[in-house]
């Protein structure tokens, strides 16, 4: 058994595990640091915009990708966002299991992620059982647009709740 000198050394990996390398491209392009503008959409039609950052890295021997999303709270702006996502490829369903944890808002979510044309779409349900859809769109090597949507009617219609406009920092 390999002994790691610290928790970070045990968690972080230099790249994708070779057994998953052919499937790692769906999310592997995200590895690195991103600046973002977060826009929260409220039911009354108003929006609030806040700056933030996202950090993506290989973890668990290159068998998963983990990220940290940070949007500091600012007076008059959307509440702080501080959460992490773990993405793990499942060859049995040829898709990715997505687990989101937000310890500030106590939001926990499971989704399945797949390619959808040039986009990445993640489907799941929130704590009330309502369908949620998270989408990476307008993907380039240096930017992406991410949309978080919720359906009040089991997928017949979708309401935009939050979006992130990300730009690669490194």
**For the segment 50-70, what is each residue's pLDDT rounded down to a tens digit?**
999 999 999 999 999 999 999
Q: Residue holding tokens 């240096």?
A: 142
What is the overall mean pLDDT for the chain? 92
Q: What is the CATH number of the domain that holds 42?
A: 2.40.128.20
pLDDT tens digits, 151-169: 999 999 999 999 999 999 9
- Which sign, positive or negative, has the C-alpha torsion 97, 63, 90, 34? positive
**In a domain? residue 1:** no
Decide: helix, strand or coil at residue 152: coil
The yes-or-no verdict on residue 78 having pLDDT over 60 is no
Q: For residues 170 and 6, give the distance between their C-alpha atoms in angstroms, rounded to a whole number.
A: 26
Buried b (16+ CB within 10 A) or exposed e, 9-36: eeebbeebeeebeebbebbbbbbeebeb
Residue 72 lies in a domain: yes
Sort 110 into a burial class: Cβ within 10 Å, 0-12 / 13-18 / 19+: exposed
Give the pLDDT of residue 18. Answer: 86
Q: How many domains does the chain have?
A: 1
CA dihedral for 145, 148, 149, 154, sign (positive or negative): positive
- For residue 11, the SS3 value is helix
Whether the model clears a pTM of 0.85, i.e. scores above it, the answer is yes
Alpha-carbon distance of 165 to 38, in angstroms, equals 7
Rounded mean pLDDT, 128-156: 96
| 79, pLDDT greater than 90 | no
Domain range for 138 is: 7-168
Does residue 2 form part of some domain? Answer: no
Q: Can you tell me the mean pLDDT for 144-149?
A: 98
Residue 72: pLDDT band (50, 70, 90) is confident
Spatial CA neighbour of 89 closest among 108, 110, 112: 112
């Amino acid at each position: 058994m390999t002994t790691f000198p610290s928790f970070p050394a045990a968690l972080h990996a230099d790249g994708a595990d070779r057994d998953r390398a052919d499937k790692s491209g769906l999310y592997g392009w995200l590895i690195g640091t991103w600046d973002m503008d977060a826009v929260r959409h409220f039911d009354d039609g108003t929006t609030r915009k806040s700056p933030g950052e996202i950090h993506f890295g290989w973890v668990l021997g290159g068998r998963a990708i983990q990220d940290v999303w940070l949007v500091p709270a600012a007076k008059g702006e959307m509440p702080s966002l501080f959460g992490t996502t773990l993405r793990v490829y499942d060859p049995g369903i040829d898709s990715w299991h997505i687990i989101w944890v937000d310890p500030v808002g106590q939001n926990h979510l499971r989704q399945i992620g797949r390619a959808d044309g040039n986009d990445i779409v993640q489907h799941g349900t929130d704590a009330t059982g309502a369908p949620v859809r998270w989408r990476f769109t307008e993907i380039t090597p240096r930017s992406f647009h991410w949309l978080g949507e919720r359906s009040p009617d089991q997928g017949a219609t979708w309401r935009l709740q939050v979006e992130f406009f990300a730009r690669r920092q490194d």
